[in-house]
Structure 1
Amino acid sequence: MKILIADDDPQILRALRITLRARGYEILTATDGTSALNQAIEHKPDLYLLDLGMPRLDGVEVIAGLRGWTSAPILVLSGRTGSADKVEALDAGADDYVTKPFGVDELLARIRALTRRATAAPGADAEPLVRLGPVTIDLTATTATRDGSPPEPVRLTPTEWRILEILVRNAGRLVTRQSLLREIWGSEHVTDTGYLRLYLSQLRKKLEPDPSAPRYLLTEPGMGYRFDPSGGSA
């Protein structure tokens, strides 16, 4: 199992690296938020241990960047004890939060619990960079650009981003209308399918080479939608 530890304290990094390697884990380390994201994209860790107070990008920004494309468990290790910090990290997408200083036995138990949870609910990670014809989607930076010199930004609303992210993270699989509506607008809107038709139409106009004949954002009649990463070429 591969774990990325991101912390700007060299003593904590060294202690955690020694402790976890002794338990058979493969360890990657980063001392700032930008390096953490770069390591994540290159090595695809199975679990993340993140400090919040890192330079360049703080922990919450790293969590948000990771959650654009990976569902791997994120455990925050932080000296911040305020409930607001915990809520912010968990709302950004962290799975658990441990306050420094912490015991090794507690940390190992939390890692085991997160690993069991991830194994029980497996989900394939999306690639951070996704191509839809001439458009590049960067799920980490939440940007879309159309090929050109220079590349032209494609502006998506927060709701359009959320729909696109869900479809891309489930590439090749049917995502039902009800599950999309529930996740984005809540269970009280599971019958409001007009929302989805409107947003999918807007996404296709912005992203598909030919919106009238979509190749990537497909409708499964009567069921839901599916992202086809091959664009129908397979």
Structure 2
Amino acid sequence: MKKVLVIEDDPEIVNLLEIHLKDLNCEVLKAYDGNTGVDKALSHDPDLIILDLSLPEKDGLNVCREVRAHQGTPIIMLTAKSEEIDRVLGLEMGADDYITKPFSIREFIARVKAIFRRTKMIEDRITSPESKTFRFDELTIDIEKRKVIVRNDKVELSPKEFELLTLMAAHPGRSYSRSDLLKLIWGYDFDGYEHTVNSHINRLRAKIEPDMNNPKYIKTTWGIGYKFNEEVTI
């Protein structure tokens, strides 16, 4: 049974989502303000968080930021059409997906199922017998332990940063467009949100590259996107 935390201040929406999540065999936790939402996220370790942007006491962006500082739980944001900028910021902070209000229950269920499928694929990959450790010069990536070491120091990566790094490191020399990375890492087509990939790549580079102005591991392939440098010593 999956555990889902719904952080939403509208009781009618909470009740509606609870009914349909229970139909998916999910245990539903509820929070009606941001502070309670953060507390429940950190104390109950849910499998998925449904997070409204407009919340009392603490807004959804700050909730997302605080949760992401401690755990990689998938987050689906609920946003209004007028919250375009906040939606972009939410994705850049680590939200996995967003749904614009008003939304259909069919769309909601499809998004939830897609998150669960992607989570299972990642877990299967990590726990499979083929799991391994990548070593590239001063960079070590332990897939099973989700640990990254740079020059003997452990580096803390967000879930999306880790997934970007492992995807590219597993295929050195292969170029990925920003659209490719959005589909593979976020799981959906976010038209117009390619800059979200840029932001995550920049933060990833800041953590693993010895020189941001001359990246050693993650190279830009002009006109296409990014690739892991195939010339780095293994």
| TM-score under structure 1 length normalisation | 0.55
Deviations 1:194-227 (A, max 9, x none): xxxxxxxxxxxxxxxxxxxxxxxxxxxxxxxxxx
- The match for 1:36 is 37
With over 3 angstroms needed to count, the CA separation of the structure-2 counterparts of 1:185 and 1:46, relative to structure 1, is closer
Q: Give the letter for the 1:176 counterpart.
A: I
Q: CA deviation at 1:21?
A: 1.0
- The match for 2:51 is 50
| Aligned counterparts of 2:92 and 2:118: Cα–Cα separation in 1 | 18
Q: CA deviation at 1:42?
A: 1.7
| Aligned counterparts of 1:84 and 1:70: Cα–Cα separation in 2 | 24
- The match for 1:176 is 149
Gaps of 5+ in 2: 125-142, 158-164, 166-200, 213-234
SS in structure 2 at match of 1:19: helix
User: Does structure 1 conserve the Cα–Cα contact (< 8 Å) formed by 2:79 and 2:87?
Assistant: no
Q: CA deviation at 1:63?
A: 0.3
| Aligned counterparts of 1:189 and 1:173: Cα–Cα separation in 2 | 15
- The match for 1:26 is 27
- The match for 1:147 is none
Gaps of 5+ in 1: 124-169, 194-234
| Aligned counterparts of 1:9 and 1:122: Cα–Cα separation in 2 | 33
Deviations 1:94-137 (A, max 9, x none): 110100111111111111111122222249xxxxxxxxxxxxxx
With over 3 angstroms needed to count, the CA separation of the structure-2 counterparts of 1:187 and 1:41, relative to structure 1, is closer
With over 3 angstroms needed to count, the CA separation of the structure-2 counterparts of 1:189 and 1:171, relative to structure 1, is closer
Q: 1:186 aligns with which of 180, 205, 217?
A: 205
Percentage of matched positions with identical amino acids = 35
Q: Give the letter for the 1:86 counterpart.
A: R
With over 3 angstroms needed to count, the CA separation of the structure-2 counterparts of 1:171 and 1:23, relative to structure 1, is closer
User: Does structure 1 conserve the Cα–Cα contact (< 8 Å) formed by 2:150 and 2:208?
Assistant: no
Q: CA deviation at 1:20?
A: 1.1
Q: CA deviation at 1:79?
A: 1.9
Considering only aligned residues, what root-mean-square deviation do their CA atoms show, in Å? 3.1
Q: Which moved more, 1:170-179 or 1:64-73?
A: 170-179
| Aligned counterparts of 2:119 and 2:85: Cα–Cα separation in 1 | 26
User: Segments of 4+ in structure 1 off by > 4 A?
Assistant: 170-174, 178-185
Give matches, 1:88-127, under 5 Å.
88-122=89-123
Deviations 1:35-68 (A, max 9, x none): 0011112211000000000011100000001101
User: Does structure 1 conserve the Cα–Cα contact (< 8 Å) formed by 2:34 and 2:55?
Assistant: yes
Q: Does 1:8 align with 2:27?
A: no
User: Does structure 2 conserve the Cα–Cα contact (< 8 Å) formed by 1:81 and 1:99?
Assistant: no
Q: How many residues align?
A: 147
